[in-house]
Every structure is written in structure tokens, then in C-alpha cells.
Chain A
């Protein structure tokens, strides 16, 4: 990784100043996470690559809007990619197609070759394991409700229909799940 910026937390501000090396560093550090997210949302490599590119264009053009006081840069990047992924999902109405594509994610992930540095990879892997453990602590019903909203962009009522559960129950599950995620957040800051 070649960058004039050593501190990960300063990457986005550097991008905001037009630092190409910082922009490359952001891509190298986070593109794998964002691409995995987009594959999960879109279930389609071509769409995921297109949206990934759109996401990085937005990162470049809106880096000045990043506010470290409000959250981490990875969260900011994920928010951009997730928002664009859900927009794409909705615009192409590919939800039904996506269900038919179940399992594709596994074959895509099998081709994964991590290009992050060894140190980055180790840190990210540790964080990932910790995140998974935190997510595993969520009751399954809460986790499913959150995943349907987050990865499929479903509304409360759509989740209620999908799960055949009362709307109030779904809402409560999501709120409880989000509180637990927020409680776990300190470990990843």
C-alpha cells in the first residue's frame, strides 16, 4: 500500500484534500468489505461492481462531508455503499431474482483474494470475528429482522409480511436488536 497518509482515521480527510494516494489506500483497505456488502445486497457481481464504483465516486466527491465526530470512516463508507446498493436493488426490482440467486454468494466469496496488507488483514480479521461474535449474541428473530431491513431494504410492514409476524412484534425486535448492537459498538471504536 502506497500512501502519504499513515493513520487510517485520517484517510478520508486526506481524500477530501485531493490526496490520490489516500484515495487508493481507502480503496485497498475497504473495497473488499464494501464489495462483499454489495454482493450480499444485490446478489449479482456485475451490479455490485457498478455500484462499488459509484460508491467510490461518491466517496471522492463528498469526502469533505465526512465528520469524524459523528462516526468512523468505515461506517461512513459502508453507509454510502449500502445506500447506493439498496437504491440499485429497488430501482431494478431484483428482489425476486435475488432469491433465485441464493448460493451465488458462496461461489463468489470462494474466489476472494485479500489484497490488504498482512497487518491490515489481521486487524480486520480480528474485528470481523469480534463483530460476528457480537452478532451471534443477538436472538435469531432480532438478527433476521435486522438483516431483512439492512440487506434487503425492507420496511417494517414488508418484514412483517415476509415473516408473517405482527408489525408491532417486528418493530420491537428491530429496536431491541439495534440497542444490543449499539451496546456492542464500544468494542469496535
Chain B
């Protein structure tokens, strides 16, 4: 923000074309909301013309007047076309129009791209929000399972397919819920999924999961069979998405329930 005095000092320079671009911008911002400084600016614009009004007039050659004012007004344009290098002003107008049109189109395209980018970002953030909410729910469930006084643990040990692997099941019998943490499992192929089986009278799927990088994973199981019916838990590698019943007995981890 500048004061009125500062604005009027710049207006003096602006009137004579000597204000810097920054000064012009500052001035115009001020003038937009200041009628008094606009009046002063107009006075400076008038005053500077005194420099020209003090010159001795020089009558231009008669042919100039002839070209400018002879005939009707359209000759003004026609005369300029004859006098100059072609229809310069039409070309200038066309160029200006195209420039403005091009600028408008460019500005609209930029705005569209900004809008699309913003929309994509909004979608990404919404998806991220859902993912984080799910993760939060999962962590809350895991924390609850770990902290509950009635929680029992079951250890699963690595089998022939993956001797160094292990898993620990935190089971809440009252809520028929369990959280299972897996360690050191080999990363599964993209077309495969690990599948956890709860073995009662027969295997029941407790969910599928993937293992990447560090070989660790966890899943939360809801609506478990009654704890006393659980005889064992085991993990097999199955077609991606899981199957209704195990397709093989090549267990990666397995453990018996002592409940």
C-alpha cells in the first residue's frame, strides 16, 4: 500500500512515461480505489502536454490533409492503407484479435488443466483418506486385541516351505476376533495370495494377504468360530484372491490351538 502523496509522485512520472513498471503497477492498484489521485493523475496528464503546446505549429504537407480528411470517413482508413505498407491497421487489429483470442484460449486451457489437476488431487486425497481410515480401524482393532485382558496368544511356526517364518495370533475369544502378525514370509508372486486357514472340523478361510519387502504382514479376523472349536491355524499359498478350500498342504506357518 502506498500513501496518496506517494501515489501522486508516481502519477507525475507516469504522466510523462517515466514511471518504472513496478511504479506503474503500484499506482494503478492505488488509483483503482482512489478518485482523488485519479483526478491528480489526469491533471498531470493534461499538464505534460504543455511541453507540446509550446512548440511552434508546423503545417503538414497538403497531401497529408488530403489523405486524412478527403471524401468520407472511410477514406481515413483507405488513405492509411495507400499511404502505409498495406492494410497495416487491419493487420494490426487482426493480430491483436488473434493475440487476445489466443491468450483467452490459453488462459482457459490453463484453468481447465488446473481444475483437472485439482480434481485429480481431490480424488487422490479422498482415496488416501479412506485408506488411512481403514488403516486406523485396523490399528485400533490390533491395539484392542493386544491390550485386552482376555486375549490369548497362539504361536505359528515356520514349516518346510518357509522354516524361518513365524506368526503370532492374538485372539479375543469373547469378541470372536483375532489379529495375526506374520514374520519372515517370502514375498508372494503377483498371481498368488497367502491364505490363512482356521482348522476346525475342516479348514475355513480366515482371509488372504500379501507379503512384500520385509516379509511381514498382519490381518484382522472377525467372526471367528467359537474358540474351543479351533484346532489349528495354517497358511498356504493360493491363487490370487484365495480359494474356498486349500489347494495344497504346503504350509508356510502352522500352529495348534491350546484353547
Contact = CB atoms under 8 A, between A and B. Distances in A.
B77 interface: yes
B214 interface: no
B73 A147 contact: no
A78 B53 contact: yes
B48 interface: yes
A132 B54 contact: yes
Listed residue (A135, A146, A175) with the most chain B CB atoms within 10 angstroms of its CB: A175
B12 interface: yes
Q: Which of B13, B15, B58 has the largest count of A CB atoms less than 10 A from its CB?
A: B58
Interface stretch (B37-45, B144-152, B168-176): B37-45
Nearest to B61: A49
A166 to B, nearest CB: 15
B40 to A, nearest CB: 8
A74 B53 contact: yes
B80 A54 contact: yes
B46 A56 contact: no
Contacts of A114: 57, 59
A75 B72 contact: no
Contact of A82 (B52, B80, B84): B52
B85 to A, nearest CB: 10
Contacts of A146: 16, 48, 51
A98 interface: no
Given A31-B60, A54-B80, A149-B18, A72 B46 contact: yes
Contacts of B56: 36, 109, 112, 128
Nearest to A155: B18
A95 interface: no
Contacts of A12: none
B255 to A, nearest CB: 84
B126 interface: no
Contacts of A149: 16-18
A75 B13 CA distance: 17
A42 interface: no
B207 to A, nearest CB: 75
A162 interface: no
A81 B44 CA distance: 17
A40 B69 contact: no
A151 interface: yes
A184 B54 contact: no
A174 B12 contact: yes
B76 interface: yes
A23 B43 contact: no
B83 A153 contact: no
Interface in B1-47: 9, 12-13, 15-18, 20, 40, 42-47
A178 B60 contact: no
A74 B49 contact: yes
A52 to B, nearest CB: 6
Contacts of A33: 52-53, 55, 57
B58 A109 contact: yes
B53 A79 contact: no
A135 B54 contact: yes
A124 B58 CA distance: 13
Given A53-B64, A57-B76, A178-B47, 10 more contacts: A31-B68, A53-B79, A53-B83, A71-B46, A75-B49, A78-B52, A82-B52, A134-B50, A185-B46, A185-B47
User: Which 4 residue pairs of A and B lie closest in terms of their CB atoms, listed nearest first?
Assistant: A32-B57, A178-B12, A131-B54, A181-B47
Interface of B: 9, 12-13, 15-18, 20, 40, 42-61, 64-65, 67-69, 72-73, 76-77, 79-80, 83-84, 89
9 contacts: A35-B57, A40-B52, A72-B46, A112-B58, A112-B59, A135-B50, A149-B17, A153-B17, A181-B48
Interface of A: 18, 20, 23-24, 27-28, 31-33, 35-37, 39-40, 48-50, 52-54, 56-57, 60, 70-72, 74-75, 78-79, 81-82, 86, 108-109, 111-116, 124, 127-128, 131-132, 134-135, 146-147, 149-151, 153-156, 159, 171, 174-175, 178-179, 181-182, 184-185, 188-189
